[in-house]
Amino acid sequence: EDQVTQSPEALRLQEGESSSLNCSYTVSGLRGLFWYRQDPGKGPEFLFTLYSAGEEKEKERLKATLTKKESFLHITAPKPEDSATYLCAVPSSGSARQLTFGSGTQLTVLP
Partner 1 sequence: DTAVSQTPKYLVTQMGNDKSIKCEQNLGHDTMYWYKQDSKKFLKIMFSYNNKELIINETVPNRFSPKSPDKAHLNLHINSLELGDSAVYFCASSLQGAGGEQYFGPGTRLTVT
Site string for partner 1, 5-34 (x = CB under 8 A): ---------------------------x-x
| Encoded amino acid at 111, one letter | P
User: What part of residues 36-95 is at the interface with partner 1 (CB under 8 A)?
Assistant: 41-46, 49, 85, 87, 89, 91, 95
Q: Which of the ranges 17-25, 58-66, 72-80, 99-107 carries the binding residues for partner 1, by CB under 8 A?
A: 99-107
Residue 65 or 85 with smaller CB distance to partner 1: 85
Separation CA 30–CA 11 (nearest Å)? 27
**98 touches partner 1 (CB under 8 A):** yes
Between the CA atoms of 74, 80, 40 and 61, what dihedral angle is there, to the nearest 10 degrees? -30
Shortest approach of partner 1 to residue 84 CB, angstroms?
12
Interatomic CA distance for residues 23 and 89, integer angstroms: 9
Q: Which residues bind partner 1 (CB under 8 A)?
A: 32, 34, 41-46, 49, 85, 87, 89, 91, 95-99, 101, 103-104
